[in-house]
Amino acid sequence: MSDPTRAMLRTAIPPFRRLLPSVVLGVASAGSSVALLACAAWLIARAAEQPPVLYLSLGIVGVRAFALGRAVFRYLERLTGHDASFRQLAAIRAGIFERMLPLAPDGLAASRRGDLLTRFVDDVDELQNVPLRVVQPIVSAVIVLALAVVGIAVLAPAAAVPVLACLVAGIGAALVVQHRSAGRAQRRLALLRGELQAAIVEHVQALDVLVAFDAADTRRRRIEQLGERLARATRSRAAATGVASAAMTAVGGIAVAASLTAAVPLLEAERISGPVFAVLCLVPLAIAEVASAVPLAVSAYRQARPSAERVATAVPALLPAGIPTRPVVPTELASTPAHPPAIVLGGVRAEWPALAGAAVLERPVPHVDGPHSAGLDGLDLALAPGERVLVRGGSGAGKTTLAHVLVRFLDYAGSYRLDGVEAATPRTCGRAPARRTRRAEPMALRRERSPEPALRPRVRERRGAPRRARSGGPARVGRRARRTRREGRRAWRARLGRTGAAHRARPSDARRVPGARPR
């Protein structure tokens, strides 16, 4: 596994402070399942002895508490886990888009559009399984299994060893079976999704050409074949998951038999009671259910790893030669002209970037150090405002290269001026656009720019300094906020009152007829 793939997998894991609540709640949910079965087994066996009901009250309360807690903790664990995972996915998708912007469209020529779309959507969505189905289940399962085995060891040390051996052997066997039955399908699932999406997008975009040349049926059969391969891979993964679940269910039965075999001599020697014997017989079933999350987590990791690799390689790590190093904005003119700018090109030289695996372009040309010439070499062109020119030429003459140079998709050598200003010159005057949107803007700053004077309170709080030192304490801050809200409401009421009075005093258009009187 390459370093970018490892880095992407680490990026998919939320920070510790966001992941910790879901792990704690997962431990509580799985622990409640084990404790529920233990309490139920003890309660049934103890009630068969017909003791006073007071002796059963603790078990009754425990069954009710763990039954409710299992569902509540499971819901909260899903809620907090998905919230942390979705926040991380938003950061990953935004980061890919920011890396993609300077390269599009010519720097991404090596990627098919449908495949790039699949990487940006489906493969990024697949990364949510890293914290949800890999990290959190494994950590929670390991903690609960360790506590459960320790609890069995406290009740009967002789029963803990065979139960632990059955769990380790069962998990290992499930992983081996799962890997042999669907390891290749899990690795190819993300690649097949990308190929299918790319084939569909290309078929739709070139449908008129395919129909004209009677090649649409061939492309459709290709799409159907890809769909069948994807369906087979999905079925193989589902079958492997079912086999692993069945193996863990069998492990639960074997663990019960092993615990029963170790606990019977203790019961005959009266070293344990009947209720404890029932607990030792039934708790391994709950432990096996918790342990079944480990093979599923490993399967989810195997499926997420190819997606992480595809996401990490969706955008080239290094900027290809021939692509502008950043989105360059020309220098702002002193005043907005009433006519289109004059375009002057002098000795312009440009070439298509050399991309590994790039699709066939208009004229794929190696880098400037190669033996071939550039797409444009020494082009001179002068266009006065309002003047038009028709560029003609055969395939590979450089028409598309010229168009991409004019809109700055491709970098160039030479001179390219708009009204005497070089196109590659960075912005030197004017104000850069704000990155923060109005929706993400703090409410206090919105109020400061409000047109109503009463709605512009003096905002004294700023980030980075203690509130008490600037405003005199929380009490004064609360009073000032309430006073500001009251002043704002009064200002709006006064404004609405003035608007309503002016509207009532103004005669309507329907009454502006000869002989009509306004009210």
Task: State the chain's mean pLDDT as an integer.
Answer: 77
> DSSP string covering 288-313, please?
HHHHTHHHHHHHHHHHHHHHHHHHHT
Q: Residue 42: enclosing H or E segment and its boundaries?
A: helix 16-48
- Give residues with Cβ within 8 angstroms of 428, minimum separation 6: 331, 332
Q: Say how many C-beta atoms besides its own lie within 10 A of residue 91's C-beta.
A: 13
Among the listed residues 282, 335, 325, the one whose alpha carbon sits nearest the alpha carbon of residue 426:
325
**What is the SS3 assignment for 458?**
coil
Please work out, in degrees rounded to the nearest 5, the angle formed at the alpha carbon of residue 138 by the alpha carbons of 133 and 141.
120
**Which is higher by pLDDT, 336 or 91?**
91
pLDDT of residue 71: 93
Q: Tell me the pLDDT tens digit for each residue of 98-110.
A: 888 777 777 777 6
**Which is higher by pLDDT, 76 or 179?**
76
pLDDT at 198 over 60: yes
pLDDT, mean of residues 225-252: 87
Rounded distance between C-alpha atoms, residue 45 and residue 274, angstroms: 7
Q: Are 135 and 88 in contact (CB under 8 A)?
A: no
Please work out, in degrees rounded to the nearest 5, the angle formed at the alpha carbon of residue 372 by the alpha carbons of 366 and 373.
100
Rounded distance between C-alpha atoms, residue 142 and residue 290, angstroms: 9
Q: Say how many C-beta atoms besides its own lie within 10 A of residue 89's C-beta.
A: 18
Q: Residue 380: enclosing H or E segment and its boundaries?
A: strand 376-383
pLDDT of residue 452: 42
Q: Which two tokens stand for residue 478?
A: 């609360």
pLDDT at 232 over 70: yes
Q: Which two tokens stand for residue 387?
A: 């003047």
pLDDT at 457 over 80: no
Q: Are 491 and 452 in contact (CB under 8 A)?
A: yes
CA 205 remoteness from chain centre = 28
Q: Which amino acid would we find at residue 9?
A: L
Q: Tell me the pLDDT tens digit for each residue of 4-42.
A: 888 888 989 999 999 999 999 999 999 999 999 999 999
Q: Are 226 and 201 in contact (CB under 8 A)?
A: no
Burial (CB count within 10 angstroms: exposed 0-12, middle 13-18, buried 19+), residue 484: middle
Q: Tell me the pLDDT tens digit for each residue of 253-283.
A: 899 999 888 888 888 888 888 899 999 988 9
Q: Tell me the pLDDT tens digit for each residue of 108-138.
A: 776 788 888 888 888 898 899 999 999 999 9
Q: Please give the backbone phi and psi of residue 417, each rounded to the nearest 5 degrees, phi first.
A: -120, 140
What sign does the CA torsion over 193, 315, 409, 330 have? positive
Q: Tell me the pLDDT tens digit for each residue of 361-407.
A: 333 333 333 434 457 788 888 888 888 888 888 877 788 888 888 88
C-alpha distances (whole Å) from 30 to each of 136, 203, 233, 279 are 12, 48, 31, 17
Among the listed residues 431, 498, 488, the one whose alpha carbon sits nearest the alpha carbon of residue 456:
488
CA 439 remoteness from chain centre = 22
Q: Which two tokens stand for residue 444?
A: 């206090």
Among the listed residues 4, 10, 21, the one whose alpha carbon sits nearest the alpha carbon of residue 88:
10
CA 56 remoteness from chain centre = 49
- Give residues with Cβ within 8 angstroms of 110, minimum separation 6: 316, 355, 356, 357, 358, 359
Q: How is residue 135 annotated by DSSP?
A: I
Where does the pLDDT of residue 43 fall: very low under 50, low under 70, confident under 90, or very high at 90 and above? very high
Q: Are 26 and 137 in contact (CB under 8 A)?
A: yes
Percent of the chain with pLDDT over 90: 22
Q: Which amino acid would we find at residue 505?
A: A
Rounded distance between C-alpha atoms, residue 394 and residue 219, angstroms: 28
Q: Are 191 and 307 in contact (CB under 8 A)?
A: no
**Which is higher by pLDDT, 427 or 150?**
150
Checking phi first, is residue 430 left (phi over 0); if not, alpha (psi -120 to 50) or beta?
A: left
Where does the pLDDT of residue 454 fall: very low under 50, low under 70, confident under 90, or very high at 90 and above? very low
3-state SS record for 176-234: HHHHHHHHHHHHHHHHHHHHHHHHHHHHHHCHHHHHHCCCHHHHHHHHHHHHHHHHHHH
pLDDT, mean of residues 155-159: 89
